[in-house]
Amino acid sequence: MIFHRIHDSPVGPLRLAASDDGVHAIEFHAPRHAVSRDARWCEGDHPMLDRVAAQLDEYFAGQRRRFDLPLAPEGTEFQCTVWHALATIPFGETISYAQLAAHIGKPAAVRAVGAANGRNPIPIVLPCHRVIGADGSLTGFGGGLPTKRFLLELEGALPAATDLFA
C-alpha cells in the first residue's frame, strides 16, 4: 500500500506519499503532472510519511541540506536516470538542463531531460528546482516559478542573471 496525506509547508500544502519501499511522491497543491494513483493508494499514516514531513520541516527551517530517505519513484528507465542525477546537484548550486543532459551521458537529449525533470515525482528531495536555463533564467517548475524562486533563495542559489525587476 502507498499511504498519502497532506503536509503544510511554506510553499503551500504538499501531498506526501510513501510505503515500506520509500517515498513515492511529493506533490504541490496543483501539480502540472500529478503522479498516477492506482488501487495501492490510500489516505492514511505510515512511519515513512512522518520521516518525510520531519525532514522537509528541517529543510524549510534551514537545518537540513541533504535528505536521508529511501526513494521509490516510478517512471521509465530514462526518467529514473534523470531523477537519480538530480540527487547529485549540491545544495545551494544550480546547473542547466544541458549540463544535466551531459551529466547523464546524453548531451543531445536536453529536451527529453527537461521533460523528465518536469515529471519528477519527488521534488525538493530530488531537487529539480536546482535546474535552470542556460542563460540563468528560472524556467519551468511543477510548483510554479514563485516556488522555485523561494526554494533557490532558501538555499542561497539564485543565479546572478536573475531578473531584478521580477
Collapsing DSSP to helix, strand or coil, 136 comes out as coil
Task: For residue 50, count CB atoms less than 10 angstroms from its CB and return exposed for 0-12, middle for 13-18, buried for 19 or more.
Answer: middle
Out of 14, 101, 124, 128, the active site residue is 128
C-alpha cell at 22: 520509500
Give the DSSP H/E element, type plus range, for residue 5: strand 2-7
Active site residue 80: no
Helices 110-118 and 77-86 cross at an angle (nearest 10°) of 80
> Does residue 119 come out as left (phi exceeding 0), alpha (psi in the -120 to 50 range) or beta?
alpha
Paired residues of 41 in beta bridges: 2
Angle at 121 between CA 28 and CA 101, to 5 degrees: 120
Alpha-carbon span 66 to 50, nearest angstrom: 17
For the annotated catalytic residues, the residue numbers are 128
